[in-house]
Amino acid sequence: MAKKVALLQGNQACAAGAVYAGCKFFGGYPITPSTEVAEELSISLPKVGGKFIQMEDEIGAMASVIGASLTGMKSLTATSGPGVSLKQELIGYACIAEVPCVIINVMRGGPSTGMPTGPGQSDVMQAMWGTHGDHAAIALVPSSVQEIFSETVRAFNLAEKYRMPVQVLFDEIVGHMRERIVFPEPGELEVIDREAPTDGPDTYKPYDSTKGQIPPLASFGSGYKFHVTGLNKADDGFPTTKASLVDAEERRQVDKVMDNVADIESNEEYLTEDAEVVIWAFGSTARSARYAVNELRKEGIKAGLFRPITLWPFPTKRTAELAVQCKAIVVAEMNLGQMIHEVERAAKGNCVVAGEFRVDGEPINPAQIMKKVKEVL
């Protein structure tokens, strides 16, 4: 049987990916350029018995998503810069309380209202450090409509597996772009469901590290009575200020991600094997970068592309290897230089690291990347 094919907008693909992953709850608040995700889900979720609610603001949306997830439902919210800023306190809540959920950020220019209809990639550090306190983060950065679908599915998988919020960031260009998409058949992409507790209601502890780095989360209304709080807590979920317990919990919550980078990481490389210069780019910028690589190769310059698909945790190991291999890394991003700091940290001075930045609401074009490459070589 021929696969279902469609011409779809990135935001619509995101909504379709969520449904494929088994998402049953969406709480949101309208904001350009993410609104189509909500509009699509308001149609498709009730069809599969799911729930869609437009909340009074983005904080309420995030709260409703965490509440719904605690009943066992895969839950999603979608927003853009100003909305992500409002959600930050509760993203931290989902981190410390370890509640799976997915947050879509269709990036526009900023700060503040910035450029609502223009693309940006300036929320990438916020995705890691936006909420206060120490915590780990997982952020995915798809660069095509097809990939938005599959990365949305993967975001739910990672959220459920690692019991934490996962962010998917794509810029306005990819969110609003229409491309051909081939819908995966059911079962074709892996879909991970939340692990059920092995303990019965009488002995269950929601943060019992003897059950592993990621203790299973029971659902409200399934026979388990337990407590959830944003305070530092002991393994039974109740607040504690005991130094050793606080320390162990904080570290476990970061380690559960950092010890599993190999599982969470995802990158694409193009002509990097013999590359003397690597363009380090993600999202829509990586599309320009790929074009630039081809043009540079035609001119005899050995260029390659490194494209992170998982942005956080940062691909430190592979970036470091490339820095040893090549003469220069050119980081292209639609901001004034954010990921370049991480690239420099990983490169440890083993190659030249240069940046090509843009914040005027226009995409980074291949010509400017090529010019930068020639400057640094």
Residues that bind other proteins (CB under 8 A): 24-25, 27, 43, 46-47, 49, 51, 53, 55-57, 59-61, 63-73, 75, 89-90, 93, 201, 220-221, 223-231, 238-239
Give the nearer residue to other proteins in terms of CB position, either 25 or 357: 25
Cβ atoms < 10 Å from Cβ of 196: 12
Give the nearer residue to other proteins in terms of CB position, either 74 or 154: 74
Spatial CA neighbour of 353 closest among 369, 321, 376: 376
Closest separation in Å from C-beta 205 to other proteins: 13
Q: What are phi and psi of 344, to 5 degrees?
A: -60, -40
In angstroms, rounded to a whole number, what is the distance separating the alpha carbons of residues 127 and 312? 8
Closest separation in Å from C-beta 225 to other proteins: 6
Closest separation in Å from C-beta 95 to other proteins: 12
Tell me the residue type at 101. C
In angstroms, rounded to a whole number, what is the distance separating the alpha carbons of residues 184 and 77? 23
Closest separation in Å from C-beta 215 to other proteins: 17
Dihedral angle over CA of 315, 319, 320, 324, nearest 10 = 170
Q: For residue 108, give the DSSP letter.
A: B
Closest separation in Å from C-beta 99 to other proteins: 10
Cβ atoms < 10 Å from Cβ of 182: 13
Give the nearer residue to other proteins in terms of CB position, either 90 or 141: 90
Exposure of 32 by Cβ count < 10 A (0-12 exposed, 13-18 middle, 19+ buried)? middle
Give the nearer residue to other proteins in terms of CB position, either 36 or 171: 36
Q: Which residue has the tokens 């439902």?
A: 73
Q: Which residue has the tokens 């026979």?
A: 223
Q: Which residue has the tokens 């509009």?
A: 39
Token pair listed for 261: 């980078």
Closest separation in Å from C-beta 133 to other proteins: 13
Give the nearer residue to other proteins in terms of CB position, either 53 or 320: 53
Give the nearer residue to other proteins in terms of CB position, either 204 or 282: 204
Give the nearer residue to other proteins in terms of CB position, either 24 or 194: 24
Helix (H, G, I), strand (E, B), or coil: what is residue 196?
Answer: coil
Closest separation in Å from C-beta 75 to other proteins: 7
Q: Is residue 187 a contact partner of residue 208, using CB atoms and an 8 Å limit?
A: no
